[in-house]
């Protein structure tokens, strides 16, 4: 969008599904949406020189009496490398209307090149965990309410059993029962000691939350304590902070989906593969946790596979990121999920592992299972 010039090169093409009111035309509705997301003025009030450049260009793809699919092609310079503004352009003001769903996005390379993306990605996280090829095993330290010494004992058992990634539960913040600094020190020490004993390379991932002014300091503390990775909830702390934390601390980051489900309505919202697949990855997550089909959440297998595909698909020059399947993955079904999702996957176990009496042994059994060649 150089001043006064009209734009060349590929546009940011966004496909919306729109529910139509009675007698509402798909084109008129789509053009109103394109203006709402950009100039926020009636067409008559937009200066002529801007009219063809700033609101997105509308194409009606299909239209029925109640709903339509439209594509709006935006100038990528409207984003200007600014992730909050990207969210705003895609679903800012229209989030306050109804029946608007972002279904698909075609990203121009010019725009992708201005967004951070993962600093480590799948290959980088594999190097840190010392796992060249198989799926990674991840487990969470919980429940909230345990003291640091109990969380650390749990972390030690999981690490001795060979769990690759031992992460804080995402609800562990800085509660008085387990303050951040003490939890970090004890859990990291327990994992380091287990690694020294087994020759393993388990990573402990502390959870980084708030207050905002302490976030980078906590990340730096984690790195100084020897952590190489951490957990962050992009929608809780702000999607735009992921890359900032990664760049400032050098930590690899797993993104947790807390709160994001609210944006994923089937009639009004964004498609899960766009939020967890494209946006969390573009924000800088090296792996993205999301609820697998068949667990405690509402997403079906096709949706969950679509997220995994987007996390691993080519996306400008950005590194692929790990799908991290959680939300009630059963320890007895690891083989099945491995076949479904393939090797570049992290399998996150909660209660179905933590409920075992001999945790170390149960973890070791799962780890051996993943070390065997995959069944065909």
Read out DSSP for 151-196? Answer: HHHHHHHHHHTT-SEEEE-TT-SS-TTS-HHHHHHHHHHHHHHHHH
Q: What count of other Cβ atoms lies within 10 Å of the Cβ of residue 58? A: 20
Q: Stretches 13-21, 63-71, 157-165, 171-179: which one binds its own copies (CB under 8 A)? A: 171-179
Smallest distance from its own copies to CB 76, Å:
10
Q: Which is nearer to its own copies, 47 or 314 (CB)?
A: 47
Write the CB contacts of 302 (distance below 8 Å, at least 6 apart in sequence).
none
Choosing from 10, 174, 250, 316, the residue that interacts with its own copies (CB under 8 A) is 174
By beta-carbon proximity to its own copies, the closer residue of 299 and 341 is 299
240 binds its own copies (CB under 8 A): yes
Q: Closer CB to its own copies, residue 210 or residue 335? A: 210
Closest to its own copies by CB, 16 or 299: 299
Q: Between 54 and 83, how does the x/- string for binding to its own copies read (CB under 8 A)?
A: x----------------------xxxxxxx
Tell the smallest beta-carbon distance from residue 241 to its own copies (Å). Answer: 5
Which residue, 87 or 205, has its beta carbon nearer to its own copies? Answer: 87
| Residue 198 host element (H or E) | helix 180-198
> In the sheet that 203-205 helps form, which strands lie side by side, from edge to edge?
203-205, 165-168, 136-141, 346-349, 322-329, 287-291, 252-255, 229-232, 207-208
Q: Which residue in 9, 66, 175, 361 binds its own copies (CB under 8 A)? A: 175
Among residues 20, 60, 67, 173, the one that binds its own copies under rule CB under 8 A: 173
> What is the C-alpha separation between 234 and 257, in angstroms, rounded?
7
**Nearest residue (CB) to its own copies, 129 versus 246:** 246
> Under rule CB under 8 A, which residues in 106-125 are in contact with its own copies?
none
> Smallest distance from the beta carbon of 357 to its own copies, in angstroms?
11
Q: Which is nearer to its own copies, 226 or 265 (CB)?
A: 265
Q: How many other C-beta atoms lie within 10 A of the C-beta of residue 322?
A: 29
Angstrom CA distances, 277 to 291, 321, 324, stand at 13, 9, 11
Interaction between residue 244 and its own copies (CB under 8 A): yes
Q: Which is nearer to its own copies, 79 or 370 (CB)?
A: 79
Among 56, 206, 255, 257, contact with its own copies (rule: CB under 8 A): 257
Omega of the bond prior to 143 within 30 degrees of 0, cis? yes
User: Does residue 233 belong to the site contacting its own copies (CB under 8 A)?
Assistant: yes
- Residue 332 lies near its own copies (rule: CB under 8 A): no
Size of residue set near its own copies by CB under 8 A:
90
CB 140 within 8 A of CB 355: no
Per-residue 3-state assignment (H helix, E strand, C coil) for 321-343: CEEEEEEEECHHHHHHHHHHHCC
* Contacts of its own copies in 309-328 (CB under 8 A): 327
Selection from 330, 348, 338 nearest residue 138 by Cα:
348
Q: Note whether 103 binds its own copies by CB under 8 A.
A: no
How far is the C-alpha of 120 from the C-alpha of 132, rounded, in Å? 14
Q: Which of residues 142-161 bind its own copies (CB under 8 A)?
A: 142-147
Residue number with CB closer to its own copies (82 or 360): 82
- Please, which residue, 113 or 247, has the CB nearer to its own copies? 247
The answer to whether 333 contacts its own copies (rule: CB under 8 A) is no
For the record, the structure tokens of 295 come out as 């667990």
Residues 289-308 that bind its own copies (CB under 8 A): 291, 296-299
**Considering only residues 58, 137, 163, 236, which one is a binding residue for its own copies as defined by CB under 8 A?**
236
Using the rule CB under 8 A, which residue among 212, 224, 309, 313 binds its own copies? 212
Q: Distances from the Cα of 203 to the Cαs of 160, 194, 343, in angstroms?
A: 12, 11, 19
**φ, ψ at 68 (rounded to 5°):** -140, 155
Q: How far is the CB of 297 from its own copies (least distance, A)?
A: 4
For tokens 């393939």, the residue is 342
């Amino acid at each position: 969008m150089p001043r006064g010039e009209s734009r060349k090169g590929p546009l940011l093409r966004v496909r919306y599904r729109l529910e139509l009111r009675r007698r509402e035309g798909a084109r008129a509705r789509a053009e109103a949406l394109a203006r709402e997301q950009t100039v926020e003025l009636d067409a008559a009030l937009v200066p002529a020189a801007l009219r063809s450049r700033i609101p997105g260009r509308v194409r009606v793809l299909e239209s029925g009496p109640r709903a339509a699919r439209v594509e709006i092609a935006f100038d990528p310079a409207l984003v200007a490398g600014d992730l909050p503004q990207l969210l705003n352009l895609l679903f800012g003001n229209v989030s306050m209307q109804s029946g608007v769903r972002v279904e698909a996005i075609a990203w121009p390379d010019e725009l992708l090149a201005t967004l951070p993306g993962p600093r480590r990605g799948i290959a980088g996280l594999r190097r840190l965990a010392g796992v060249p090829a198989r799926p990674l095993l991840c487990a969470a330290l919980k429940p909230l309410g345990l003291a640091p010494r109990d969380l650390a004992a749990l972390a030690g058992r999981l690490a001795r059993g060979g769990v690759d990634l031992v992460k804080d539960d995402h609800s562990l913040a800085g509660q008085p029962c387990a303050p951040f600094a003490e939890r970090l020190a004890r859990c990291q020490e327990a994992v380091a000691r287990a690694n020294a004993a087994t020759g393993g390379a388990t990573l402990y991932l502390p959870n980084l939350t708030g207050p905002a002014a302490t976030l980078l300091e906590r990340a730096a503390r984690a790195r100084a304590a020897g952590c190489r990775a951490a957990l962050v909830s992009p929608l809780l702390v702000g999607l735009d902070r992921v890359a900032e934390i990664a760049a400032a601390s050098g930590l690899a980051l797993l993104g947790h989906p807390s709160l994001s489900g609210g944006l994923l309505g089937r009639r009004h919202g964004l498609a899960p593969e766009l939020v967890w697949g494209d946006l969390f990855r573009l924000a800088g997550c090296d792996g993205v946790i999301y609820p697998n089909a068949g667990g405690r959440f509402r997403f079906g297998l096709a949706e969950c596979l679509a997220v995994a595909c987007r996390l691993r698909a080519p996306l400008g020059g950005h590194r692929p990121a790990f799908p991290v399947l959680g939300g009630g993955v059963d320890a007895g079904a690891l083989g099945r999920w491995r076949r479904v999702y393939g090797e570049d996957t992290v399998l996150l176990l909660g209660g179905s592992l933590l409920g075992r009496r001999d945790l170390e042994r149960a973890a070791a059994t799962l780890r051996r299972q993943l070390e065997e060649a995959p069944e065909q």
